[in-house]
């Protein structure tokens, strides 16, 4: 089964790339090297932005993993000590 988040992300990347190509093809002079240069710059800028976003999300990812481990540990300990109750 495919990951739905990966499908959405792939669709978004396709839209971004298509939009960048359309913008540079229709706004740039007909010189192919100029189009390629502008497109490369745009892709480079997108890569830098995505890298920046990824770096900023690392703390959130670490916290989410810590919380997941804490939840699993708490559930295990409650089951092991017989103190686990049904949710309200």
- Structure confidence by residue, pLDDT tens digits, 25-79: 666 556 667 777 877 888 888 889 989 999 999 999 999 999 999 999 999 999 9
Contact present, 84 and 72 (Cβ < 8 Å): no
Please say whether the beta carbons of 24 and 39 come within 8 A. yes
Between 78 and 9, the more confident residue is 78
pLDDT of residue 1 exceeding 60: no
pTM, to two decimals: 0.50
User: What pLDDT sits at residue 64?
Assistant: 95
Asked if residues 75 and 84 have their Cβ atoms less than 8 Å apart, the reply is: yes
Higher pLDDT, 86 or 18: 86
pLDDT for residue 26: 62
What is the reported pLDDT for 42? 80
């Amino acid at each position: 089964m495919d990951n739905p988040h990966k499908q959405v992300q792939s669709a978004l990347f396709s839209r971004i790339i298509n939009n960048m190509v359309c913008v540079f093809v229709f706004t740039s002079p007909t010189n192919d090297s100029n189009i390629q240069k502008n497109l490369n710059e745009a892709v480079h800028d997108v890569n830098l932005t995505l890298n920046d976003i990824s770096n900023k999300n690392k703390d959130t990812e670490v916290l989410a993993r810590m919380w997941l481990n804490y939840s699993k540990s708490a559930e295990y300990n409650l089951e092991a000590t017989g103190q686990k109750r049904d949710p309200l």
